Amino acid sequence: MTSEKMALSGIRVLDMSRVFAAPVGAQILGDLGADVIKIERPGVGDDGRGYGFSWVKGKDGIETRHSSFFTVSNRNKRSITLNHARPEGQDILRELVKGADVLIENFKVGDLKRYGLDYESLKAINPRLVYCSVTGFGQTGPMAARPGYDGLFQATGGMMAVTGIPDGQPGAGPLKCGPSLVDFVTGHNTAIAVLGALMYRAQSGVGQFIDIALLDTSVAMVSHIMQDYLISGIAPPRLGNGGNGGGPADLMQCADGIVYLTAGTDEHYRRLTVLMGQPELNTDPRFDSNIKRGKTNRAELMDIINAWSRGFTVGEIQAMLDEAGIPAARYNELAQVWEEPQVRHRQLRATTPHAFAEAGSVDLIASPLAQMSDSPATIRRAPPMLGEHNREILQGELGLSDARMEELAAAGII
């Protein structure tokens, strides 16, 4: 799907960020139509190019350095290489800032100030600049200077405390969730903050500084479970695969696989007891309230449900629950996700042309914002090769001559 006039058409973003959280934020802006220029270190590039376990295979022996981390967070960007630690690189960056709307960076606190590339310095060049700094712990405070990575914040912010097998069961203890969710959600918070700042600029005419911290995101992500603690003063227990709202909500073991059940309302539970042929469970004093079904006696109820569900296949269970209007979903391994009819219908596997890939394309994950009726998020560019757009931007847009480009390259500036 394409849109001639995209939501962020005409907005230019300078992306000086690396690895994952901030690059995701810049990518979202690119998906919405912004011109995102990724600024990377000459010869090295974004550290994220080396993260992950898989890389896009290049054609004709080309090493793409498109790792899974880099590929998932850098589409819709153009890449230039620039050594901002050298005066010549700083001069080029300042020229780019003059025509930019947004700058996103995730260097350590105070790092860019050494080079005159902090917000106050660049605001003097472009008062309309929205400058977003993404760090682990924020710009101020006793831990501001510390580096931060996703797993640290899952531990610090409370996510691990509420994830994992309940105490008293084999393997009990806190558990890190699989994907780098704190990074991912921080990227979304970055994009939201930038969009808000652009809206404010449209009203006021001035840009602003944005301080985004992974710590803040990690605490906010615990959401209603953390709010439960703030209300009651009691830390909710880890529930394994159990739901955090109503019950029963957990994995159902079937004859040939697994289904996740969420019968969290009184009516859903009543329908389930009828479907199971055990309507007396609806008034059983062990299970006659949501808190008993979802927390106090959850394990006992799930044992009863699993004794019933093991007599049916996944397909049979899903069909019966659908017919009864009880929310449920098949558990999928990663390969099975892409076989789901609704996933295919939503076109969530986005095959994108890639000039340097052996296959000539790369499969990406479609943006969840792709279904906007008038200004949908789109994928227009595969993630860039390191410095792929040096000439296009530095020469074609800033007007550097061939001779100057060669001088800068020889000096390690680009």
Q: Does 379 reside within a domain?
A: yes
Q: Does 399 reside within a domain?
A: yes
Same domain, 181 and 272: no
Same domain, 38 and 119: yes
Q: Does 271 reside within a domain?
A: yes
CA angle, corner 84, sides to 381 and 129, nearest 5?
Answer: 65
Q: Say which CATH number the domain at 323 has.
A: 3.30.1540.10
Q: How far apart are the first and last CA of the chain?
A: 35
pLDDT digits (tens), the chain, 414 positions: 344 689 999 999 999 999 999 999 999 999 999 999 999 999 999 999 999 899 999 999 899 999 999 999 999 999 999 999 999 999 999 999 999 999 999 999 999 999 999 999 999 999 999 999 999 999 999 999 998 899 999 999 999 999 999 888 888 999 999 999 999 999 999 999 999 999 999 999 999 999 999 999 999 999 999 999 999 999 988 888 888 777 899 999 999 999 999 998 999 999 999 999 999 999 999 999 988 998 889 989 999 999 999 999 999 999 999 999 999 999 999 999 999 999 999 999 999 999 999 999 999 999 999 999 999 999 999 999 999 999 999 999 999 999 999 999 999 999
Please name the amino acid found at residue 207.
G
Active site residue ranges: 183
Q: How far is the CA of 200 from the CAs of 121, 130, 193, 195, in angstroms?
A: 21, 10, 10, 9
Domain boundary among 282, 302, 330: 330
- Can you name the residues that pair with 80 across neighbouring β-strands? 39
Q: How many domains does the chain have?
A: 2
Same domain, 35 and 130: yes
**pLDDT given at position 4:** 64
Give the Cα separation of 385 and 394 in Å (integer): 16
Please name the amino acid found at residue 168.
G
Q: What is the DSSP letter of 302?
A: H
Q: Does 341 reside within a domain?
A: no
For 78, residues 6+ apart whose C-beta sits below 8 A from its C-beta are: 35, 36, 37, 38, 381, 384, 388, 389, 392, 393
The answer to whether the CB of 25 falls within 8 A of the CB of 188 is: yes
Same domain, 167 and 34: yes
Q: Does 226 reside within a domain?
A: no
Joined together, the tokens standing for residue 254 give 């079937």
Give the Cα separation of 145 and 134 in Å (integer): 12
The answer to whether the CB of 7 falls within 8 A of the CB of 379 is: no
Rg of the Cα trace of the chain?
25
Same domain, 180 and 321: no
**pLDDT given at position 55:** 95
CA-based nearest residue to 25, from 98, 108, 106, 107:
106
Q: Say which CATH number the domain at 72 has.
A: 3.40.50.10540
Q: Does 234 reside within a domain?
A: no
Joined together, the tokens standing for residue 175 give 């558990």
**pLDDT given at position 347:** 97
322: left (phi over 0), alpha (psi -120 to 50) or beta: alpha
Same domain, 299 and 371: no
Same domain, 202 and 263: no
Q: Does 338 reside within a domain?
A: no
Place of tokens 């994907």: 179
Q: Count how many residues are written for the chain.
A: 414
Q: How far is the CA of 319 from the CAs of 109, 306, 347, in angstroms?
A: 55, 17, 24
Q: What's the domain range around 42?
A: 12-220+346-410
Q: Does 228 reside within a domain?
A: no
Same domain, 320 and 370: no
Same domain, 350 and 320: no
**pLDDT given at position 264:** 87
Strand duo 249-253 + 130-135: pairing: unpaired
Same domain, 262 and 192: no
- Can you name the residues that pair with 365 across neighbouring β-strands? 349
CA-based nearest residue to 265, from 289, 299, 242, 285:
289
Burial class (CB in 10 A: 0-12, 13-18, 19+), 335: exposed
Same domain, 400 and 299: no
Same domain, 313 and 183: no
